[in-house]
Structure 1
Amino acid sequence: MTPDWYAWHDDYDQPGSALSRRLTELRLRIGEALDQAPPGTLRVVSLCAGQGRDLIPVLAAHPRRDDVIACLVELGPRNAEVARAAAAAAGLSAVQVVVGDAALTDHYAGLVPANLVLVCGIFGNIVDADIRATVRHCAALCATGGTVFWTRNRREPDLVPTICDWFAEEGFTPVAVSSPADGVGVGVHRFTGQPRPLPAGVTMFEFVGHDRITRP
């Protein structure tokens, strides 16, 4: 049965839950990246953005908020409407919320390479080959010196070390990677290479859901 991704967000409101702790960590790291970003316009893209809870509250309170042009892509209309309403309430007129399949590269044409790229809530819901492909596409989504944020559970078999290796192969250096003891699986990598052109009409991954993925 397909999960109710709207109701799934309720766990963010449960103090001490894994999602709540993950959200706290992500907001901290996003704020740090904005603090360190170069002057001028900042581009931000968020894949499978959900309700935008990781990004929008940080932008709303950050001194660089008016420098940011952001695009959040979310397949669920109800979640997208929550994100759109939150951006409007915060006066973030340059935050666009698109209802669509975040795996399609066409959604990001003209917006990348971006300074911040959020790939959160994805790597635990796609097969390993698609994780590798998505990491490869991050080298087209992310600007030189830009930051990618991603999440992945630390349950065994723990794929996080391998994901870090894949990012290294694509020209990324680690900024922060949560330990297995944290249980929240947040990764932050900075791109030191030169961005590749983003191919048109490509599906980067298939979102299948963690319950349908068979792992050894």
Structure 2
Amino acid sequence: MTRQDWMQWHDAYDEPGSSLKDRLDVVRAWVGRALDEGASRVVSMCAGQGRDLLPVLAAHPRRGQVRARLVELDERIAATARAAAPEGVEVVCGDASVTDAYAGAVPADLVLACGIFGNITDDDIRRTAATLPRLCAPGAMVIWTRGRHAPDLVPAICGWFEECGFERVAVEGEGTKYGIGVHRYAGPPVALEPGTRMFTFVR
């Protein structure tokens, strides 16, 4: 199996009309909405170059009130995000699949889990959904993505989130190659449990 070059993968964000660029635009719109609603603590899992968050935050009038942690395993990619990160944004080169990466940055008001669910097993998606309450403040918004390739798991993922105390806000991307889920955590505060692995990339 050919190893995915994640640095090269990011190039599709710059291609007008690409499904990745279209997905990014929708995610950014929801990030902006979360900031408008007052989100002040943000975590981004497998954050890549930070394209979901950083440009939105840079242009937002509340940018000085927001503290964020972006977690990315690839040091080259993390360095790109770090170079673009404004004051208040911490870019950590680390394993986003383990809860230790979020110590001191949670509970968050906005959690980004974009570009993950298409690269892990169904069981790991469910495990991640079940663990995310430990990263979320009550009322936190979670934005996640998953390609619509067969089998289309977006409806099932929505159900898994809702079994774990989340309420559905929106599902975007019907009729496209991508799915974007937006859920709000409706449960009580849950303490972060260190050493918990949520997922393992399978490609």
TM range (shorter): over 0.9
Matched, 1:192 2:186: yes
Task: Tell me if the contact between 1:103 and 1:203 (Cα under 8 Å) persists in the aligned partners.
Answer: yes
> Residue 54 of structure 1 aligns with which residue?
52
> Residue 175 of structure 1 aligns with which residue?
169
Cα distance, 1:31 vs structure 2: 0.2
Match of 1:66 among 42, 64, 68: 64
SS of 1:173's equivalent? strand
SS of 2:70's equivalent? strand
Matched, 1:22 2:23: yes
What number of residue pairs does the alignment pair up? 202
* Residue identity opposite 1:192 in structure 2: A
SS of 1:31's equivalent? helix
Matched, 1:135 2:133: no
| Unaligned residue ranges in structure 2 (runs of 5+) | none
> Residue 78 of structure 2 aligns with which residue?
80
* Residue identity opposite 2:185 in structure 1: F
- CA distance in structure 1 between the aligned counterparts of 2:132 and 2:115, rounded to whole angstroms: 15
Task: Tell me if the contact between 1:150 and 1:188 (Cα under 8 Å) persists in the aligned partners.
Answer: yes
> Residue 13 of structure 2 aligns with which residue?
12
Of the structure 1 ranges 197-206 and 122-131, higher mean CA displacement relative to structure 2 is found in 197-206
Deviations, residues 4-61 of structure 1 (Å, cap 9, x unaligned): 10010000000000100000000001001111126xxx11001100000010000000
- CA distance in structure 1 between the aligned counterparts of 2:41 and 2:66, rounded to whole angstroms: 6
- CA distance in structure 2 between the aligned counterparts of 1:189 and 1:165, rounded to whole angstroms: 11
| Unaligned residue ranges in structure 1 (runs of 5+) | 210-216
- CA distance in structure 1 between the aligned counterparts of 2:163 and 2:78, rounded to whole angstroms: 33
Matched, 1:152 2:153: no
SS of 2:119's equivalent? coil
Give percent identity, aligned residues only. Answer: 58
Task: Tell me if the contact between 1:141 and 1:195 (Cα under 8 Å) persists in the aligned partners.
Answer: no
- CA distance in structure 2 between the aligned counterparts of 1:83 and 1:58, rounded to whole angstroms: 14
Q: Give RMSD over aligned pairs.
A: 1.0
* TM-score, structure 2 as length reference: 0.96
